[in-house]
Amino acid sequence: MHDLDWKPDKNLDEPLYEQIKQFVIRKISCGEWFLGFQLPPQRELALYFGVNRSTLKTALEDLTADGILGTRGKSGTYVRNNTWSLFRKPLSPDWLKYIRSGSLSPNREITRSIHDHEFSSNLIRLSTGELSPDYLPRNSTDRVLENLIAGGYSLGYDHPNGTIELRESLVQYYRRLGVEAKLSQILIVSGALQAIHLISVGLFPKGASVSCETPSYLYSLNLFKSSGINLCGVPCNGEGIDIARLVNIHKRGSTASHYTIPYFNNPTGHRLSDRKRIELMETYRKLRIPVIEDDTYRELYYDEERPLPLKASDESQFVIHVGSISKTLCAGLRVGWIIGQEEVIRKLADLKMQIDYGTSSLSQLVLDSLLRSGRFEENLSNLRQTLRAKRDLMHEILEGEFTGFAEWTKPSGGFYIWLRLKNLADIKSVFEYCRCHGVLINPGYMYDPKNRDAIRLSFSYVSDEEMKHGLSILKDAILSNTPRTL
Amino acid sequence: MHDLDWKPDKNLDEPLYEQIKQFVIRKISCGEWFLGFQLPPQRELALYFGVNRSTLKTALEDLTADGILGTRGKSGTYVRNNTWSLFRKPLSPDWLKYIRSGSLSPNREITRSIHDHEFSSNLIRLSTGELSPDYLPRNSTDRVLENLIAGGYSLGYDHPNGTIELRESLVQYYRRLGVEAKLSQILIVSGALQAIHLISVGLFPKGASVSCETPSYLYSLNLFKSSGINLCGVPCNGEGIDIARLVNIHKRGSTASHYTIPYFNNPTGHRLSDRKRIELMETYRKLRIPVIEDDTYRELYYDEERPLPLKASDESQFVIHVGSISKTLCAGLRVGWIIGQEEVIRKLADLKMQIDYGTSSLSQLVLDSLLRSGRFEENLSNLRQTLRAKRDLMHEILEGEFTGFAEWTKPSGGFYIWLRLKNLADIKSVFEYCRCHGVLINPGYMYDPKNRDAIRLSFSYVSDEEMKHGLSILKDAILSNTPRTL
């Protein structure tokens, strides 16, 4: 019936299925197998070709994916397309399959959408956890670069823990905060996010749980989920985390660690009180769990005196301290650090060597010079004044315009106001309304999957004018999405 | 018999096992439970306390780990230590348990050992895949930094794919090589190692196989193993990879991709011929698999004309091209890039945002200026001359001193000579002998677990004097470890 005396040749380099594909294409291109032509059943074809059913299926599936063959009903395969263009089209790998594979899963859709908007448009960014480029201490960094040129520098691979110079500067810096760290207890990383990534893949087995405040910055990341670690949210009250609930969760015994931003929390702006700090440290100590202290915002206090990191009262060495300059100097240098027990740091340093072989030497050189020269502290003190003024302006606008339908706590440091809407509005519609009117906000459900009534507002990036305009758009968005019963 | 009318209180914040521990400590510290005192059987104790056996076990195990209790025989628990110091010792988390957990496994022991030696001693580094700090084009980088100061710069978060400026410079650079890439097809990363890490966690499922040449740089990394990906080595002959074996491996159908360093391979120094390149590209195309092209060394040609990357003849878009400046300019800036199909790049950019939120802006600014000003090319041309002279010197010493017992191919580019020993010496002893005499080498088994007769020698880092001295030590090491039958 069919002229199928041809068989693929097992001695050729070309895989059998590829030879079959080429055979089918020849049949179609010479017109013998015309448009709509029904191929013999798969079982029969496999017998003719002298190959396994699976080899045959691979060939037919490839040709189907390329749009050359089609399927009808159970096993009917027919010629779907015979245009030359298809045959000549270079056959690239099935990229979609590769993109959908991979052990690390993609970011949440809302996170990716915000990344895209932030970089591809001129929206007013009430969303952005970043300092305005205007606050970069250009003068200081210029002087540091000049000194580098005059004094010489090397840009080779560094010690797995980071440059000795920068680690020495950090030892000095932390000594003033009451933290005694050895050089071998410090690991330089590329920002706090990388620190959290290293900790999550380096210290916890898949399936472990880590507790955190709700809402928490961690929920906006995909890091833990990607490493197979479950987040276990602990509710907060006005004073911060609910200690009884925290203890209860850890009593069950399967929770490996606790993550916290003690000062000027992202997203809530909350500052841990001294009383509560002592109580919490005692709790952690009793639970005997490692605590990941994300110290990113602590230096940005502007109402009260400088808070001390948890690490400053950590005689038992259970705190893994994560520091960064992304919020206190600039994000673009991509420098952060981890301070912890020596063996823990050794393990994390080894992992860092595996995944990127160290942090930019040039960035480390610049930060080291800024710390040594006192310019880092000088800039911080200016930054606190700037941010206080920004905070005051946002608070003032909110008091004037939002009091009827929203509530918030005036933060004493950091970047954020956590705005809670008194009457349920549809937050997704609020987000969309703002975006369409040129304003970007971070909806609360980014930080707590169950949250439907909060927005994280950032006052660190926008100009005064942008803030005023942005908040007036937000007000319209909320009111036009609040039930009429108001 | 025992005064055990006490029971832990379920209403307290403190976990039950912690309350039991404190009770036991009180009993010991008041002297009631004296040194050597035998505790009641666990079953009995659990009943007395009204708790689960598992809760009791947790308490006793903790106290045993702390050295306070000891065990004898099957279930006998006794007081092992009653010194006050133990009770007062702050109880830190069980760090060893955490260090042994983690989804990412540590580097191979030989790799960690070499990292340690490289940074902690003054050994002669015939091992190091790095440019000597003397070759850093200080003059060029100084001018670039001066221009930055004069012209202004920003150091905020960048676009997820890297700065537009640097990607534009790379588009121009690659256009001259016959590669047409769009901005959205380029992702800036922190060195080629991070590129490979992102590809391994982003595109392949756990359990996938990736083929590579044997020996291969990949074997010296733990990256693929950590991501659950198997390496499938393909033997090489004088002309490079054995194509028939490559096809055979991929015919079996489970191999997801192929990794290759086409030019001046690490560790063999091999350069792909034009004829073989065309043959290989045709093979990849037929197999329809993505090829990871590690292009790290290609620019370091110094005998023949500039080789073209595989990406230059990639109409079907199956090449994922990985570039870096770590070997051609300096390693410390930590800048590399990936060029590939648009959707693939989008996925990898999203993952990079998850794990470190981008590469140092300052490093990107410096590289961009070097590329735009032509200083990058200028430096490359000097570097080729320097490396050629280094290669000549090493080849000359080997010809004079090693001809009788070793063989190698004179490389026409790159950093490495792959030295094969004619008579089996104990490579581990050779490594140890060298190390004890102040010389570091990379044994061949780092790049091929089965290899027992090769050493990777690098001529990119050492001074002429160090090279002469280092090789004479190596000669002694080999001869004193070669069987007498020679």
When pLDDT is averaged across residues B187-195 and rounded to a whole number, the result is 97
- The CATH number of whichever domain residue A396 belongs to comes to 3.90.1150.10
The percentage of chain A sitting over the pLDDT mark of 90, rounded to a whole number, equals 63
Give long-range contacts, CB 8 A cutoff, 24+ apart: A171-175: A172/A371, A173/A371, A174/A311, A174/A339
Angle ∠(B160,B288,A54) on CA atoms, nearest 5: 120
CA-based nearest residue to A456, from A448, A385, A464, A413: A448
pLDDT tens-place string over residues B423-455: 878 899 999 999 999 999 999 999 999 999 999
Q: What is the pTM of this model?
A: 0.83
Interface contact flag, A93 B194, Cβ < 8 Å:
no
Q: How many domains does chain B have?
A: 3
Interface contact flag, B154 A145, Cβ < 8 Å:
no
Whether the ω angle into residue A215 lies within 30 degrees of 0, i.e. cis, is: yes
Give long-range contacts, CB 8 A cutoff, 24+ apart: A136-140: A136/A330, A136/B154, A136/B155, A136/B156, A137/A329, A137/A375, A137/A378, A137/A379, A137/A382, A138/B152, A140/A370, A140/A373, A140/A375, A140/A376, A140/A378, A140/A379
Instruction: Find the residue in B nearest to A88 (Cα).
Output: B316
- The CATH number of whichever domain residue B315 belongs to comes to 3.40.640.10
pLDDT tens-place string over residues B216-253: 999 888 888 888 889 999 999 888 999 999 999 988 77
Q: Would residue B2 count as lying in a domain?
A: no
Provide the shortest C-alpha distance from residue A141 to chain B (in Å).
9
Q: Is there a single domain that holds both residue B44 and residue B116?
A: no
Tell me, what's the pLDDT at A291? 95
Tell me, what's the pLDDT at B1? 44
Q: Is there a single domain that holds both residue B261 and residue B171?
A: yes
Tell me if residue B366 falls in helix, strand or coil: helix
B86: pLDDT strictly greater than 60 = no
Provide the shortest C-alpha distance from residue A109 to chain B (in Å).
11
Backbone angles phi, psi at A263, to 5 degrees: -120, 125
Q: Is there a single domain that holds both residue B191 and residue B271?
A: yes
When pLDDT is averaged across residues A258-263 and rounded to a whole number, the result is 96
Cα–Cα dist B161/A217, whole Å: 23
Asked if residue A332 lies in contact with residue B154, where contact means CB atoms within 8 angstroms, the answer is yes
Tell me, what's the pLDDT at A1? 44
The percentage of chain B sitting over the pLDDT mark of 90, rounded to a whole number, equals 63
Q: Is there a single domain that holds both residue A241 and residue A330?
A: yes
pLDDT band at A485 (very low <50, low <70, confident <90, very high): low
Q: Is there a single domain that holds both residue A449 and residue A334?
A: no
Of A56-60, A107-111, B211-215, the poorest mean pLDDT is in A107-111
Asked if residue A257 lies in contact with residue A136, where contact means CB atoms within 8 angstroms, the answer is no
Cα–Cα dist A335/A324, whole Å: 6
The predicted complex's ipTM stands at: 0.83
Q: Would residue B185 count as lying in a domain?
A: yes
When pLDDT is averaged across residues A30-46 and rounded to a whole number, the result is 85
Of B75-89, B328-342, B371-385, B427-441, the poorest mean pLDDT is in B75-89
Q: Last residue of a domain, which of B343, B377, B411?
A: B377
Q: Which residues of B touch A104 (CB under 8 A)?
A: 201-202, 351, 354-355
Q: Which residues of A touch B226 (CB under 8 A)?
A: 354
Residue A190, C-beta contacts closer than 8 angstroms, at least 6 positions apart: A334, A335, A336, A356, A359, A360, B190, B356, B359, B360
Provide the shortest C-alpha distance from residue B218 to chain A (in Å).
11
Provide the shortest C-alpha distance from residue B422 to chain A (in Å).
33
Q: Which residues of A touch B208 (CB under 8 A)?
A: 101
Q: Which residues of B touch A290 (CB under 8 A)?
A: 93, 95, 98
Q: Which residues of A touch B95 (CB under 8 A)?
A: 290, 317, 341, 343-344
B66: pLDDT strictly greater than 80 = no
Strands A439-440 and A124-125: parallel
Q: How far is CA A53 from CA A22, A49, A59, A296, in A?
A: 17, 10, 10, 59
pLDDT tens-place string over residues B284-314: 988 888 999 999 999 999 998 999 999 999 9
Asked if residue B196 lies in contact with residue A354, where contact means CB atoms within 8 angstroms, the answer is no
Q: Is there a single domain that holds both residue B218 and residue B305?
A: yes
Residue B394, C-beta contacts closer than 8 angstroms, at least 6 positions apart: B417, B457, B459, B467, B471
Q: Is there a single domain that holds both residue A371 and residue A225?
A: yes
Q: Would residue A4 count as lying in a domain?
A: no
Tell me, what's the pLDDT at B486? 47
Interface contact flag, A154 B142, Cβ < 8 Å:
no
Q: Is there a single domain that holds both residue A295 and residue A442?
A: no
Cα–Cα dist A212/A250, whole Å: 11
Output A59 or B401, whichever has higher pLDDT: B401
Q: Would residue B358 count as lying in a domain?
A: yes
Q: Which residues of B touch A138 (CB under 8 A)?
A: 152
Asked if residue B363 lies in contact with residue A362, where contact means CB atoms within 8 angstroms, the answer is yes
Q: Would residue A472 count as lying in a domain?
A: yes
Provide the shortest C-alpha distance from residue A104 to chain B (in Å).
5
Of A308-317, A465-474, B67-76, the range with the highest mean pLDDT is A465-474
Q: Which residues of A touch B91 (CB under 8 A)?
A: 285, 288, 316
User: Residue B437 is part of which domain span?
Assistant: 109-132+382-479
Q: Last residue of a domain, which of B326, B361, B377?
A: B377
- The CATH number of whichever domain residue A80 belongs to comes to 1.10.10.10
B30: pLDDT strictly greater than 90 = no
Instruction: Find the residue in B nearest to A12 (Cα).
Output: B244
Q: Is there a single domain that holds both residue A124 and residue A173?
A: no
Interface contact flag, A107 B350, Cβ < 8 Å:
yes
A222: pLDDT strictly greater than 50 = yes
When pLDDT is averaged across residues B185-199 and rounded to a whole number, the result is 97
CA-based nearest residue to A321, from A480, A222, A178, A160: A178
Q: Would residue A485 count as lying in a domain?
A: no
Interface contact flag, A191 B353, Cβ < 8 Å:
no
Instruction: Find the residue in A nearest to B154 (Cα).
Output: A133
Q: Would residue A7 count as lying in a domain?
A: no
The percentage of chain B sitting over the pLDDT mark of 70, rounded to a whole number, equals 95
Cα–Cα dist A310/A307, whole Å: 9
Q: Would residue B9 count as lying in a domain?
A: no
Q: Is there a single domain that holds both residue A355 and residue A269?
A: yes
Q: What is the DSSP string of B12-51?
A: SSS-HHHHHHHHHHHHHHTTSS-TTPBPPPHHHHHHHHT-
Q: Is there a single domain that holds both residue A213 and residue A334?
A: yes
**Which of A95, A190, A202 lies closest to B343 in CB terms?**
A95
Interface contact flag, A332 B204, Cβ < 8 Å:
no
Q: Is there a single domain that holds both residue B297 and residue B370?
A: yes
pLDDT tens-place string over residues B94-117: 777 788 877 788 888 888 888 888
Output B475 or A485, whichever has higher pLDDT: B475
A90: pLDDT strictly greater than 60 = no
Tell me, what's the pLDDT at A320? 97
Tell me, what's the pLDDT at A486? 47
Q: Last residue of a domain, which of B312, B342, B377?
A: B377
